[in-house]
Amino acid sequence: MPKKSSTAQNRRHERTFNKRISGGLLAELPGKLQRIGIAADHGGFELKDFLVGKLRDAGFQVSDFGDSKLKSDDDYPDFIIPLARAVAAGTVDRGVGICGSGVGASIAANKVAGVRAGLIDENFSAHQGVEDDDLNMICFGGLLVGHALAWELTQTFLAARFKGTERFRRRLEKVTQLENPTPPKTP
């Protein structure tokens, strides 16, 4: 009997996960994950407003880190960094960062110790990033990801839980060590 490829397994896993999401799993989450932070510059402003409405309608407490108005010359670090700091401090449970491409938001967020942000544009990484890597902030390209897909990915991200097995904790510890490097010994 031929072996199934890992791609086929991933597609099967993604279909199963998507059925769980559409079956109302997200409706159970506000009791577990209540506080969601979100931030965007001009490139993600419209998508941010859309997601804020969807999250609030789903029962989440949403902290909007801005921008509060569409300004074509605003800078993503001014909004993403405060959001990332709130994620790291536990002021919000998870974060959603958006800029035009999502790249800048992801880079800025990952400069804050304790934040594990990923630029996500498909379902497998939206849940696997949380399950295996304890992803706590999802980033989108507001000029690249449509509203419906962004909402689907946000639901997937919020529904996922870190597995916490030894191998995943071991890997996270190695990443955490990069955030707190040991100073070089002086002779």
Q: What is the mean pLDDT of the chain?
A: 85
In this structure, are residues 120 and 129 in contact, taking their beta carbons and an 8 Å threshold? yes
In angstroms, the CA 169 to CA 149 distance is 30
Q: What's the order of all strands across the beta sheet hosting 94-99?
A: 61-64, 35-40, 94-99, 137-141, 117-119
Alpha-carbon distances, residue 117 vs 19, 126, 128, 187 (angstroms): 25, 11, 13, 38
30-179 belongs to which CATH class?
A: alpha beta
Residue 27's pLDDT is 52
Residue 26's pLDDT is 56
* pLDDT surpassing 70 at residue 30: no
Tell me the pLDDT band of 33, cut-offs 50, 70 and 90. low
Each residue of 97-111: pLDDT tens digit? 999 999 999 999 999
* pLDDT surpassing 80 at residue 156: yes
Give the residue, 2 or 104, on which the prediction is more confident: 104
Provide the token pair at 56.
């609030």
pTM for this model (two decimals): 0.80
* pLDDT surpassing 60 at residue 15: no
